[in-house]
A and B are shown apart, each in its own frame.
Chain A
């Protein structure tokens, strides 16, 4: 039986994966486009926090809010300028465009801050005693904010009119449009929510891990795996996939070290082999 701290760590990692993955899944579900810049949004949010909190010396919470706002703005800009013109040109063209953007962001941040590691000092001091172990309040903050934001996302998608429109557009854009939903406006909304979640995750985890221009790749990969594991375009899928991956990664690292990545890959392969649509996806037409 793993110690309590490992269990807690699993939950924290799982929720941060879910945060990134649900934003990605939301954008994919509505727009039908895989936003490869999602990880870079995470990375840039961490850098905005670094600039405001460390270089300007302002409050951490303020920097988190500003970072989220900046990245949401950037997300909307990306949608309006780059994704909208290629939205109906197929998966490949949109992927190439967002991959181009990925490289631009990576290049800009590397040119400004260099490739070396940066650190944001832990802004929230103190530890919380749980039984015989301690958890830093920073990690608890990560957990609390991610849970709250996911509850907010769930409420938004399932309980508001805009959320209803999102679900309708995810099912069929053309029909949703005929029923008077402005799908274009919805794209902006979805992109804003998705980027906001990625930015929040980046800003929260920036102080926990160290910073370099390539930290965006890992959350993106984990989010993609979570989505594949859980099923494309379903929030339940993203959540369950994130939970599985979070526990698999931390528990796996605790018991078998770096080999857990092999286990993770085999896990995904087995799921794909027996349930090609993912655990919660809609059944696909079988091929071959």
Chain B
């Protein structure tokens, strides 16, 4: 609890002490952390989704379509103009993604495993194609340009207010996912991951629980995607693609997928800023460094970065013991 409090206090103080350019790295990292947590939650039921970024895209597009101002939207080619408030749009983005996740999950989670992995991958590709080829609805390759989020007349144009919005979304997701993880539902999930056959024989409906977590994950991804869209002020078919889905998986692996919340957040906070920085410095630097980091973690730090304190503690204890015996 103390640890969580310290982290929260730090998170609240950070935007006021670091220079603004650093915030431009931190906000995407926070928004990716949400996707990482959902990916990890799904992985803890034993399924590996390769399409979490697709739900970002769904949320982003849903929110953009509902909130886009008439002057910006689609070069004025479209008659469907809702101009809803941004925060309603973000919520609707989450709901839209959850509905799609429910449908896709109901079909693909019957088999799960590798099939689920590949179908979710195909699903992400499909979304890109549809968005690209339906300019009247999705704006084609140029995508949709949106407003900065606003509450009434107060526009969240600066980095600092947006940082707190993103932080709030991360906290919400983290609380929901850790509550689920500690509840009966979470234990059911772990039972399924540990031994499917045994769980099924104990009367657990595998399908039902897989779909539940996939839908919950879809909701939070959609929400994060909508926020991301309003942060970037534009959504195009290429913002959330296959590469981003892999990225989410890699962030979880680096952070540590044996912890429900801390690992994914840590992974996103470490990798996302590094990646954004490298992209701006060196072409190809981002995938190269990510690859090296992932390989190092996979071979030398199997439980991810969150495991470092435990390893350090163990090393200290061992040294003490060896000095005692000597």
Counting CB contacts under 8 A, is A213 at the interface? yes
Q: Say whether, besides A259-B133, A272-B119, A213 and B284 are in contact (CB < 8 Å).
A: yes
CB distance from B104 to the nearest CB of A (A): 9
Q: Are A221 and B125 touching (Cβ within 8 A)?
A: yes
Q: What residues of chain B lie closer than 8 Å to A262, measured between beta carbons?
A: 126, 129-130
Q: Of A100, A109, A264, A272, which contacts B294 at CB under 8 A? A: A100
Q: Are A34 and B112 touching (Cβ within 8 A)?
A: no
Q: Are A104 and B292 touching (Cβ within 8 A)?
A: yes
Q: Are A96 and B294 touching (Cβ within 8 A)?
A: yes
B83-125 Cβ-contact flags toward A at 8 Å (1 or 0): 0000000000000000000000001111111110111011101
Q: What residues of chain B lie closer than 8 Å to A217, measured between beta carbons?
A: 242
Q: How far, in angstroms, from A102 to B290 measured CA to CA in the complex?
A: 10
Q: What residues of chain B lie closer than 8 Å to A109, measured between beta carbons?
A: 284
Q: Are B133 and A96 touching (Cβ within 8 A)?
A: no
Q: Are A96 and B298 touching (Cβ within 8 A)?
A: yes
Q: Are A107 and B287 touching (Cβ within 8 A)?
A: yes
Count class of interface residues, chain A: 35 or more
Q: Of B110, B112, B129, B298, which contacts A100 at CB under 8 A? A: B298
A74-102 Cβ-contact flags toward B at 8 Å (1 or 0): 00000000100110000111011101111
Chain B residue at smallest Cβ distance from A105: B291
Q: How far, in angstroms, from A108 to B287 measured CA to CA in the complex?
A: 8
Q: Are A100 and B290 touching (Cβ within 8 A)?
A: yes
Q: Are B110 and A99 touching (Cβ within 8 A)?
A: no
Q: What residues of chain A lie closer than 8 Å to B246, measured between beta carbons?
A: 99, 102-103
Q: Say whether, besides A34-B114, A115-B283, A262-B130, A107 and B119 are in contact (CB < 8 Å).
A: no
Counting CB contacts under 8 A, is B196 at the interface? yes
Q: Of B107, B111, B119, B125, which contacts A261 at CB under 8 A? A: B125
Q: Are A107 and B196 touching (Cβ within 8 A)?
A: no
Q: Are B107 and A106 touching (Cβ within 8 A)?
A: no
Q: Of A115, A225, A269, which contacts B284 at CB under 8 A? A: A115
Counting CB contacts under 8 A, is A193 at the interface? no
Q: Say whether, besides A103-B290, A104-B287, A221-B121, A92 and B207 are in contact (CB < 8 Å).
A: no
A101-133 Cβ-contact flags toward B at 8 Å (1 or 0): 111111111110011000000000000000000
CB distance from A20 to the nearest CB of B (A): 14
A263-288 Cβ-contact flags toward B at 8 Å (1 or 0): 01100110011001100000011111
Q: Are B207 and A104 touching (Cβ within 8 A)?
A: no
Chain B residue at smallest Cβ distance from A284: B111
Q: Are A102 and B291 touching (Cβ within 8 A)?
A: yes
Q: How far, in angstroms, from A167 to B197 measured CA to CA in the complex?
A: 27
CB distance from B190 to the nearest CB of A (A): 15
Q: Of B115, B291, B302, which contacts A228 at CB under 8 A? A: B115
Q: Are A95 and B242 touching (Cβ within 8 A)?
A: no
Q: Are B196 and A287 touching (Cβ within 8 A)?
A: yes
Q: Of A34, A258, A265, A288, which contacts B123 at CB under 8 A? A: A265
Q: Say whether, besides A96-B294, A99-B246, A99-B249, A110 and B287 are in contact (CB < 8 Å).
A: yes
Counting CB contacts under 8 A, is B202 at the interface? no
Q: How far, in angstroms, from A106 to B294 measured CA to CA in the complex?
A: 14
Q: Say whether, besides A111-B283, A262-B129, A287 and B250 are in contact (CB < 8 Å).
A: no
CB distance from B93 to the nearest CB of A (A): 22
Q: How far, in angstroms, from A268 to B117 measured CA to CA in the complex?
A: 13
Counting CB contacts under 8 A, is A232 at the interface? yes
Q: How far, in angstroms, from A96 to B197 measured CA to CA in the complex?
A: 25
Q: How far, in angstroms, from A100 to B252 measured CA to CA in the complex?
A: 13
Counting CB contacts under 8 A, is B288 at the interface? yes
Q: Are A100 and B208 touching (Cβ within 8 A)?
A: no
Q: Are B287 and A91 touching (Cβ within 8 A)?
A: no
Q: How far, in angstroms, from A273 to B246 measured CA to CA in the complex?
A: 26
B186-208 Cβ-contact flags toward A at 8 Å (1 or 0): 00000000001100100001111
B13-27 Cβ-contact flags toward A at 8 Å (1 or 0): 000000000000000
Q: Are B283 and A96 touching (Cβ within 8 A)?
A: no
Q: Of A96, A102, A106, A224, which contacts B118 at CB under 8 A? A: A224
Chain A residue at smallest Cβ distance from B250: A99
Q: Are B108 and A272 touching (Cβ within 8 A)?
A: yes
Q: Of A82, A103, A269, A272, which contacts B250 at CB under 8 A? A: A103
Q: What residues of chain B lie closer than 8 Å to A225, measured between beta carbons?
A: 118, 122
Counting CB contacts under 8 A, is A257 at the interface? yes
Q: How far, in angstroms, from A109 to B287 measured CA to CA in the complex?
A: 10
Q: Are A257 and B110 touching (Cβ within 8 A)?
A: no
**12 contacts across the A-B interface (CB closer than 8 A):** A92-B257, A96-B253, A100-B291, A104-B295, A111-B284, A114-B283, A228-B118, A259-B133, A261-B125, A272-B111, A287-B207, A288-B207
- Please name the 6 residue pairs, one residue from A and one from B, whose CB atoms are nearest each other, closest first: A288-B207, A107-B288, A110-B284, A104-B291, A103-B291, A100-B294
Q: What residues of chain A have their CB less than 8 Å away from a CB belonging to chain B?
A: 34, 82, 85-86, 91-93, 95-97, 99-111, 114-115, 213, 217, 221, 224-225, 227-228, 232, 257-259, 261-262, 264-265, 268-269, 272-273, 276-277, 284-288
Given A34-B114, A221-B122, A261-B129, output 10 extra A-B contacts at Cβ < 8 Å. A91-B48, A92-B48, A96-B249, A96-B250, A100-B292, A110-B283, A221-B121, A224-B121, A225-B118, A261-B125
